[in-house]
Amino acid sequence: MKSVLLLQIFCCVIAISTQLEGASVTVDLPFGSIKGYSNGDSWQFYGIPFAAPPVGDLRWQPPTDFIPWTGSTLDANYPPPACIQNCQLGMPACAANMSEDCLYLNIFIPISWTPGSNMTYDVLLFIYGGSFIEGTSGCLLYDSKFFTKFTDTIIVTFNYRVGALGFLRNPAYNIDGNMGFIDQRVAMQWVNNYISYFGGNGKITLFGESAGAISVGAHLASPLSTGLFRNAIVESDPWTIPLRSTINADVLGEEFFLELDCITKRCIFDKTSEEILSAPIIDNINLLDQPLATLLEKAKTSAFLPVIIGTTTNEGLLFIERLNRISPVKGEALYNAMLLFVFPYHFESVVNTYNSLYGVPTNYVDRLSLIAGDYVFLCPTRKLLATISDGEQYAWGYLWNRGETYNASSTFCYNIPCHGSELPYVFGTPSLWDQQFTPNDLNLSRQIQTYWRNMAYSSDPNMGSGGTGVYPAWPRYETRTGVEMFFDEPIGRLSYNYSDRVCDFLDTIGYDRSDIFGNSSVIRSFLLMVVVAVVLIGLINSISSY
């Protein structure tokens, strides 16, 4: 079995397909009844529609109101299909069941709850990652029964449209883009309106990882999402990768429909969907600017919701390894070409700074992974934490430093805290795919779950119904000390001024790279350059061997 981290990035671990067994419970809503089931650890309600199926003439349109089922009972016994996507990993990593009719949510409730009782619970609402081209709520990695049982909270997961069907823009066909982002907001609105019927107390904490973290940051920045949640947890947001401008999104949309050989609106609605790389765009309605820029300014001038923001300590390796498989990074020339592309005006200073801090690289994959993790994830996260702290707002920072040591079949992330490596600990799910936590792993899982639960309970990771128990107090981030929670075995501990020297340097360069990453034609030119460079290097090596 491949690394669960790789599976999460591209899709999910394994689609759930078996029928649940056990007792059932029925919830009566104004628009119909819903029947959920016990798995022994929690009540779970799968596949609740929060919007109308986005099919037919609703394809590429914002979500519309769900269709009531008054007078009947919805059997919420099966996970919903994933939204249409082109998953690259093959079975069983990719969801077996996909459909354009995919806008459903899942609710996990503590087993102690009964309908109509006075028992209420805090709510954690999760947004999955997958580069905005893949991902689903109905996979084993995000099965929330153990998370719900240990934290005594309600966990909600949901689907949103991805890829071309979620984020394509083409105003000529009245396709404004950001459909997937609006799907997320409509799911959040549904939870606000109806979670009380399931025992929710209205205290909603939004959390997400990777593309899900980008989404959380975007909802923090979007005025249209104000009031839908009271806290946020941002896990591994690649802040430096910008969202597309409407100009670049329009170009991509035009190219997409040319590839479909469509020149009429009817044609695009009749076509079978095809997957392309897409992401939310700055449409001046849902998003007014890059989320990081908006949040940095917001932290200085207005009230900021309490947030936990963090990264793993080796975010870059997963992505550089993917690139390395396509274009092996074996020589200094290719390494320099990649750095020159990203840092055209600061190339020498970047090379010299990293060489002075870490020595001349002997492994270019490792060095590129370090730079990518620092520049895209770690240092912009520190910048935002410092800005929130300087504004005397409430923010807590963390670093995840535990690899996938419980998984004997893991690849390069076995001992390395890759992108996404905290997720099995947050949800506590490795046993669902025949892996077992060590005692230290289980303790670390309980620690992060405790902090996430407390954040939902009190807007502070230290203050829950039982406090932090045996786990350390977690101070708010402050610029002077750079204090963060450093999650590692056997127990998380405090860290101070982690990577300050390199982040101080990268802060001087800045993290707005929309001039490069926001321009699809520039990226294609760079990839072409990489391919040409690899071919030339291969030819040179072949000639020199004779």
Could you give all domains of the chain from N- to C-terminal order, each with its CATH number?
A: 4-537 (3.40.50.1820)
More confident residue, 43 or 251: 43
The pair of structure tokens assigned to 86 is 């082109």
CA distances for 284 relative to 63, 246, 280, 295, 500, angstroms: 19, 9, 12, 15, 35
pLDDT at residue 289, as a whole number: 65
Percent of the chain having pLDDT more than 90? Answer: 56
The pair of structure tokens assigned to 423 is 């997720």
Which residue, 80, 49, 79, 84, is CA-closest to 63? 49
At residue 93, does pLDDT exceed 60? no
Catalytic residue numbers read: 210, 315, 419
Torsion of CA 425, 372, 388, 236, to 10 degrees: -20
Q: Output b/e per residue, 267-287; b: 16+ Cβ within 10 A.
A: ebbeeebebbebbbbbbeebb
More confident residue, 2 or 487: 487
Residue 66 and residue 445: Cα distance in Å, rounded?
36
pLDDT at residue 282, as a whole number: 54
- Mean pLDDT within 243-272: 73
pLDDT bracket for residue 275 (50, 70, 90): very low
pLDDT at residue 302, as a whole number: 73
pLDDT at residue 8, as a whole number: 45
C-beta separation of 76 from 34 below 8 A = yes
Ranges 46-55, 173-182, 293-302, 445-454: which has the least confidence: 293-302
At residue 497, does pLDDT exceed 90? yes
pLDDT at residue 540, as a whole number: 39
pLDDT bracket for residue 517 (50, 70, 90): low
- Mean pLDDT within 496-510: 96
pLDDT at residue 293, as a whole number: 80
pLDDT bracket for residue 193 (50, 70, 90): very high
How does the average pLDDT of the chain come out, rounded?
84
pLDDT at residue 2, as a whole number: 41
- Mean pLDDT within 355-381: 94
pLDDT at residue 6, as a whole number: 43
Residue 412 and residue 325: Cα distance in Å, rounded?
13
Alpha helices in 136-210 (DSSP H): 145-151, 163-167, 179-194
pLDDT bracket for residue 531 (50, 70, 90): very low
pLDDT bracket for residue 126 (50, 70, 90): very high
